[in-house]
């Protein structure tokens, strides 16, 4: 029976997957919105976030996940926002291509 639950989405998500994309922090930067996303890796938080921008009337979204792990939500928020800024500075709207 557990095989069928997993096959059709009834199983529990693993601890490495984001649970409903819980937004821990958010910042607007150069017409983009950066969100720090809660992603647990055991007892730690894994660096993850999204970058969003309205392009031609449509909300575009880019998700990033990095290998960095930390024990504090505050550290996660600060690092995710900084990483989001770096990605925007380097790639701009090209991240949505």
- Position 18 scores a pLDDT of 40
- Average of per-residue pLDDT across 28-48: 92
- Position 97 scores a pLDDT of 86
Number of domains in the chain: 1
pTM of the model as a whole: 0.74
Residue 59: CB partners within 8 Å, gap ≥ 6? 52, 53
With respect to residue 46, please indicate whether it lies within any of the assigned structural domains: yes
With respect to residue 7, please indicate whether it lies within any of the assigned structural domains: no
With respect to residue 76, please indicate whether it lies within any of the assigned structural domains: yes
- Whether residue 21 is predicted with pLDDT greater than 60 in this model: the reply is yes
Per-residue tokens: 34: 């950066």
| pLDDT cut 70: percent of the chain above it | 79
Query: Residue 64 belongs to what domain range?
Result: 14-96
With respect to residue 63, please indicate whether it lies within any of the assigned structural domains: yes
Which CATH number fits the domain that encloses residue 23?
A: 3.30.160
- Say which residue, 3 or 73, is predicted with more confidence: 73
With respect to residue 35, please indicate whether it lies within any of the assigned structural domains: yes
Confidence of residue 16 (pLDDT cuts 50, 70, 90): very low
């Amino acid at each position: 029976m557990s095989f069928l639950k997993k096959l059709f989405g009834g199983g529990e998500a693993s601890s490495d997957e984001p649970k409903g994309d819980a937004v821990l922090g958010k910042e607007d930067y150069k017409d983009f919105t950066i969100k720090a996303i809660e992603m647990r890796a055991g007892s730690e938080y894994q660096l993850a976030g999204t970058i969003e921008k309205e392009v031609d009337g449509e909300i575009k979204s880019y998700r990033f996940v990095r290998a960095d792990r930390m024990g504090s939500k505050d550290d996660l928020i600060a690092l995710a926002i900084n990483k989001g800024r770096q990605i925007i500075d380097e790639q701009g709207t090209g991240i949505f291509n």
